[in-house]
Amino acid sequence: MREVDVKLITDAVAEMSKEANYFLGDDVVQAFEKGLKEEESPVGKEMFSQLLENARIAREEEVPMCQDTGFAVLFVELGQDVKLVGGDFNEAINEGVRRGYTDGFLRKSIVSDPLERANTKDNTPAIIHVEIVPGDQIKLTLAPKGGGSENMSAVGMLKPAQGAKGLVDFVVDTVSKAGPNPCPPVVVGVGFGGTFEKVAYLAKKALLRPLGEPNPDPFYADLEKEMLEKINNLGIGPQGYGGRFTALGVQLEVFPCHIASMPAAVNINCHASRHKERVI
């Protein structure tokens, strides 16, 4: 067993909270540059130019690219040969969020109860997903998730008879209904298969893949392309002002499912598609 002090997790989460909000990934910046070149709508082109300038200012001045610095969603791949020492694992993550969001001048956007709505004032608690994997390392991925795009997401318990067309229609329809609200150009995470809760998890996890990296299965890679084309044919465009680029990518994760079911989920991310990784 390898002993790992949970303080290392706190430090990593605090740093990632800031980095994810200040430094937009190169994959997204490249997608903006492509959009600036290829977008046909003049207003849409102007949007890409503002988004590139925004990403540059955020990076150079180390300020949040968006004022919605998100719910801190943590994906943890915990090696089964790791023994955690020095404190409570969940609290170590929350302490990292607390420190990162306070020291990093990030907005505190979490309320303690959905009805009473009192702000927790330190952006905790984090949402924590843990998978136990072979090995003696810990891989942490932090994906701050904004509220505007999260609100436009959906789960659909489709019928197996609806087939691939049913999935495509559900995904395109969800993005169509969202219209300008989730800050397009969006990144579309799609979960397919599993159960009611698993499919939503898959959709969120799909957003972690680098933009442009297709599903490893050529059939599903083609389906991703088909969905992207149909979404971009909606004409919603950057910021919803009309244009060719409504989505920058569609990313699908698939899992086996029950003989009676065909669950699908769409998790929409705004263009501030933020995530950072650390391996301890």
Partner 1 sequence: MEPKRISAPLTDEMIMELKAGDNLLISGVIYTGRDAAHKKLVELLEKGEEWPVDLKGQIIYYVGPTPAKPGQVIGSAGPTTSGRMDSYTPAVLKYGIKAVIGKGARDESTRKAFQEYKGVYLGATGGAGALLAKRIKDAEVVAYEELGPEAIRKLVVEDFPVTVINDAHGNDLYAEGRKQYAKA
Interacting residues toward partner 1 by CB under 8 A: 40-43, 46-47, 50-51, 53-55, 57-58, 61, 63-69, 105-107, 146-148, 151, 179-181, 183, 233-237, 239-244, 270-272
Nearer to partner 1, 152 or 264 (CB): 152
Nearer to partner 1, 65 or 199 (CB): 65
Nearer to partner 1, 22 or 170 (CB): 22
Beta-strand runs (E) in 14-60: none
CA-nearest of 198, 200, 217, 203 to 256 is 198
Nearer to partner 1, 183 or 264 (CB): 183
Could you tell me how many residues make up the chain? 280
Smallest distance, partner 1 to C-beta of residue 71, A: 15
Q: Is 67 exposed, middle or buried (0-12, 13-18, 19+ CB in 10 A)?
A: exposed
Report which secondary-structure segment, H or E, holds 243.
none
Smallest distance, partner 1 to C-beta of residue 61, A: 7
Smallest distance, partner 1 to C-beta of residue 235, A: 3
Nearer to partner 1, 42 or 212 (CB): 42
Smallest distance, partner 1 to C-beta of residue 46, A: 7
Smallest distance, partner 1 to C-beta of residue 52, A: 10
Verify cis geometry, omega within 30 degrees of 0, for the bond prior to 184: no
Nearer to partner 1, 141 or 149 (CB): 149
Quote the CA–CA distance of 261 and 195 in Å, as a whole number.
8
Smallest distance, partner 1 to C-beta of residue 269, A: 11
| R_g of the chain, CA atoms, integer Å | 19
Half-sphere exposure of 35 (CA within 13 A, CB side): 31
Residue type, 133: V
Q: Could you identify the residue written with the tokens 């801190």?
A: 72
Verify cis geometry, omega within 30 degrees of 0, for the bond prior to 263: no
